[in-house]
Structure 1
Amino acid sequence: MTMSLDTKAKLACLYAGGVWGLFWIPLRALEDAGLHGLWVTAVYFLVPTICLLPVTVWRWHYVRKGGAQLQLTAMLSGGALLLYSTSIVFTDVVRAMLLFYLTPVWATILARVLLGDAITLSRLVAMAMAVAGMLTIFGLGVRFPVPQNAGDWMGVGSGMLWAVAMVRIRKDNSHSATDLTIGFFLWSFVFSAAVALVLAPQQMPNVAQTMPALPLLLVFMAFLVLPGTYASLWGPKYLSPGVVGLLFMTEIVVGAISVAILADEPFGVRELSGVILIAGASLLEPLQALYRPRVRRV
């Protein structure tokens, strides 16, 4: 059976979210190697930028043709990634993820105002499930997820920037996901390196300091981060930004489980309940889309 473009785009976003749920692992490896928090992100983004140099040369004509609009979208998405990755360093991994994933709220509002997308009942139900899941993981009735430090606010800001970028990708879907991926990492590196040079110039790492984490970083880039980034910039071209935000929430599911296993953070009934709610929110609309054609055939 041939999948529709819509289904492929949804699967791409689900996959991308899962990949980003493991995004914290090489970041923490660089931090454990002794790198300053601001330089962690600069080194992290330098690796894919270098890896993509041959592709950049090959696609240069199309990158130039994309002009300022392509670069603005890449800058917004790259800035969102910078804020998000830095928030992981300066706050708890799960807190960073949850605050970032207010994205469906911002994206749904922006898509309604700028693209005229309808806010359906199923979308509202999915967002309610997602928020309930996030509150459950945080500790409903114990800790309300209000940003409490700089890392938390970076998580909120990254979600807002990502929502704007998704609206732009949807509004002008003529840009190649390959060219967006190139710009995504390039601007992430430029922004992170600039911040690190201004705020922590004396903490610049040397090659020897980064070597212990380099093998893990290269494996993650080759097999997860680069294809996951491409999927995260290709899928949104064909979907409502609000749907994209919900689909990407598979990151919380993968992230919460991987943090519990690898970082020995708590994962009990409360966390499992939150994960189930968030997974349900992410899968609600895709499952509805699969069910509708069957109903019509009957």
Structure 2
Amino acid sequence: MPTPRTPQIENLAKLACVSCAVVWGLFWIPLRALDNAGIQAGWATVVFAVVPLIVLAPLLVVRWRYLFASGWSLQITGIFMGICFTFYANAFFYTDVIRVLLLFYMTMVWGTLLARVWLKEPITVSRVVSILLGFSGMFVILSVEPGIPLPANPGDWMALISGLAWAFAAVLMKKEEKTNAWDLSVCYFFWASIIALVIMVLPFFGQASAPEWPTVFSVLPWFVPVVLLLLIPSTLALTWGAPLLSPGVTGVLFLTEISVATIAASILTDEPFGIREITGVVLISLAGTAEFIASMFRPQRK
């Protein structure tokens, strides 16, 4: 049975996506810990995909009939989500952080345009305001001049493709919003694992040596709890909430990642957190708030 479409449910879906963005804003902490443990570059991305898949493996046994019955639409959505995650995570190893974020978060624009063309959703004033506020906050926090850089290296292209992949995934989730969140999460981790491994065996990307098994086992005592308490719940929140929202909205809400990462870095490292960072966080928060407020005045859909 599809989830009823009420303003309350829609706002709950937005909160679910924000919670996922919060977790991804802390992504760099376990990533740095994996690097310190000897699991470097793209192999850390492999660990982030494979370990959750192993944890969720029993679902493959229990729900394999449902997974096959869902057809290629479920698999294609999982593939786009897998491309989004692996390309985004690996892009940081091949280009500057600022360029990754600027190119990836073009997904706000791609998602809005795809929803207009594919789903016939209107481009509302509140959506335009949210996107402008979101980009403004991002430019302020990252301390760059307004504008999107043209892709100039493999990392740039991975970031751009990642944002496009998420826009397509969000549109597909919206189109097939009856899809079970557990099924989609399993497909996502399955395809993310395959894509992450393929990237690492390609001659161009496979620059880091594969970690030894003892190294991998040594991180599991703390990484498995991260998977159980943060990664899987946030993924379920995303795969439940995103299908209920416009693809452009999810892109705007994901900007929370930048705010959380900025605040966390200022607490855990020597990164500054002054007027510029506060202003950027406020602008990004206003971008998300604009979508919450707009939904309160939007006619209820059955």
Superposition TM-score, scaled by structure 2 size: 0.88
Distance 1:212 1:148, change over 3 A: farther
The number of residue pairs the alignment matches comes to 292
Distance 1:29 1:149, change over 3 A: farther
Residue number in structure 2 paired with 1:296 = none
Distance 1:148 1:211, change over 3 A: farther
CA distance in 2, matches of 1:101, 1:202: 27
1:8 to 12, 18, 41: 12
Superposed CA RMSD in Å reads: 2.4
1:23 to 27, 35, 58: 27
Residue aligned with 1:267, SS = coil
Output aligned runs, 1:195-234, within 5 Å.
Answer: 195-199=199-203, 200=206, 203-234=209-240
**Kept after mapping to 1: 8 A contact 2:127/2:291:** yes
Residue aligned with 2:270, SS = coil
Which stretch of structure 1 is more off in the superposition, 214-223 or 155-164? Answer: 214-223
**Kept after mapping to 2: 8 A contact 1:135/1:144:** no
CA distance in 1, matches of 2:271, 2:192: 29
- Larger helix proportion, structure 1 or 2? 1
CA distance in 1, matches of 2:16, 2:37: 33
Distance 1:93 1:212, change over 3 A: farther
Distance 1:149 1:279, change over 3 A: farther
Output aligned runs, 1:5-154, within 5 Å.
Answer: 5-91=9-95, 93=97, 95-141=99-145, 145=149, 147=151, 149-154=153-158
Residue number in structure 2 paired with 1:270 = 276
Q: Does 1:236 align with 2:242?
A: yes
Which stretch of structure 1 is more off in the superposition, 212-221 or 156-165? Answer: 212-221
Q: Which runs of 5+ in 1 are unaligned?
A: 294-298
Distance 1:143 1:175, change over 3 A: closer
Residue number in structure 2 paired with 1:283 = 289
CA distance in 2, matches of 1:68, 1:213: 35
Q: What whole-Å deviation, never above 9, does each CA across 1:50-88 have from its counterpart, x for those lacking one?
A: 000012211111101111111011000111100111123
**Kept after mapping to 2: 8 A contact 1:100/1:158:** yes
Q: Does 1:194 align with 2:202?
A: no
Q: What whole-Å deviation, never above 9, does each CA across 1:175-227 have from its counterpart, x for those lacking one?
A: 21111100100110111112212333882212222244333321221111101
**Kept after mapping to 2: 8 A contact 1:21/1:253:** yes
Q: Which runs of 5+ in 2 are unaligned?
A: 1-5
Residue number in structure 1 paired with 2:3 = none
Which stretch of structure 1 is more off in the superposition, 56-65 or 27-36? Answer: 27-36
Letter in 2 for 1:189: S
Q: Percent identity?
A: 41
**Kept after mapping to 1: 8 A contact 2:103/2:148:** no
Q: What whole-Å deviation, never above 9, does each CA across 1:114-146 have from its counterpart, x for those lacking one?
A: 111111111111111111111112224499755
Which stretch of structure 1 is more off in the superposition, 34-43 or 235-244? Answer: 34-43
Letter in 1 for 2:82: G
CA distance in 1, matches of 2:75, 2:54: 18
Letter in 2 for 1:64: F
Letter in 2 for 1:289: S
Residue aligned with 1:213, SS = helix
Superposition TM-score, scaled by structure 1 size: 0.89
Deviation at 1:162, TM superposition (A): 0.3
Distance 1:172 1:30, change over 3 A: same
CA distance in 2, matches of 1:151, 1:267: 27
Letter in 2 for 1:275: V
Distance 1:142 1:202, change over 3 A: closer
Distance 1:287 1:143, change over 3 A: closer
CA distance in 2, matches of 1:142, 1:74: 33
Letter in 2 for 1:101: Y
Residue aligned with 1:203, SS = coil
